[in-house]
Amino acid sequence: MDTKVTSQGRYQKEGWVQWPDESELSFQFARTLGGAQEGASLISECFFAASRMTPGDTESWYREWQALAQTSERRAIDAFERRCFRTASSNWLRAANYYRSSEFYLGHDDVRRLDTFDSVERCSHRYLAGLTPAGEVVKIPYENGAHLDAYFIPCAGKDVRSPVVIAFGGLDEYKDELLHEMPKHALTRGMSLLLVDLPGQGATLRRQKIVNRPDTEVPVGACVDYLLTRADVDPSKIGLYGASVGGVYAARAASFEKRVVAVVSDSVMFDMSSLFAGWLDAPNKLIWGHLKWVFGCATLEDVVEKAKLFSLEGVIDKITVPYLVLQGTEDWLGLKTATDTYDYAKAHGVKAELKLFDPDETGAAHCQIDNPTLGQEFICDWLATQLGVDQSAVRSRVLALA
């Protein structure tokens, strides 16, 4: 392919932009780079990989993240064999994130996609096993003999009933990315986590070919059913978190699944269909490949039509629990998608709150990918308050994990 001259990377309102002429790839690069704050990448390694990529060439993207992932996994195995368990754990977490990054732009029928996803989960599972208490790989019973793939991460021992947050990503984020984003913030605040791949996400999409659905209270209800079987979960303190398209899933689920007591939409789209329709004049946008895959649609027009079923109008007025909407002022979705959601919820009597991140504090990008720590601190503090967690009571655990 022809190599395109790309202007130099620089910091902008939405955070670090590696290749200003390649907005989609720059966003995904910043996403992996931001993981460094939570231990899921190394800054020097990220920039080293980028220096070996050809802007716009997704094959070089795959190759360089793969190389880092394989190196990190080898380090992890070597450290584990030497009984250097903390080093092994750190490298397994980074390897999982690098493998996730490498998979991102592969075609959905590319055989490397599932092989790479297997590598993501392999490293995630080793990381989970090293946590204290250990995380669990679980399969949540779903419809017609299917299941939802998930990770349960307890914040305390099995003899303690703790609050729990059901968490999921969006169009292209799945449980293994949440594994480095949320635990440090949720567990130290006294909340366990159920990180789940809903229909259209992660393993549920890749292995079982289950695409997304608008009645998200069904899969979320299956998650609640599972949690109620556990002796280490407080059944009266179950929260819900969704990011990006997952923010829509969370809001719709909380409108009908009344066993959750608080809900967060970290970036949200009040009317996905209208938003997607505005992209029809750019059929070469890389995001269309993900949209068709996740929505189970053959054409762009079919995606726009199915997205009508995910509208929040006439739905979120039924939310009866506290509802938090977050959005960055420089979100590439725009700000109106969130303010419309918040305004509609407030106008219909929902106990809604709106948190905006602006460039002066950073975190102004989509789902705070330019500063994910700020986002998760705010989100987990808010959830802890809504779930009745006395953070002073978990101070000793914070110190133990520091």
User: Could you give the residue numbers annotated as active site?
Assistant: 244
**Pairwise CA distance, residues 300 & 283, whole Å:** 8
Alpha-carbon torsion angle 227, 233, 235, 239, nearest 10? -80
Number of separate helices (H) and strands (E) present in the chain: 16, 10
CB atoms within 10 A of CB 281: 7
Which tokens in the block code for residue 211?
A: 């695409």
CB atoms within 10 A of CB 349: 10
Consecutive H or E run containing 217: helix 217-227
Helix axes 245-256, 217-227, angle to 10 degrees: 70
**Pairwise CA distance, residues 387 & 303, whole Å:** 36
Residues 6+ apart with CB under 8 A from 198: 148, 168, 204, 212, 216, 219, 220, 246, 249
The burial of 70, by beta-carbon neighbours within 10 Å (0-12 exposed, 13-18 middle, 19 or more buried), is given as middle
First-to-last CA distance in the chain?
Answer: 48
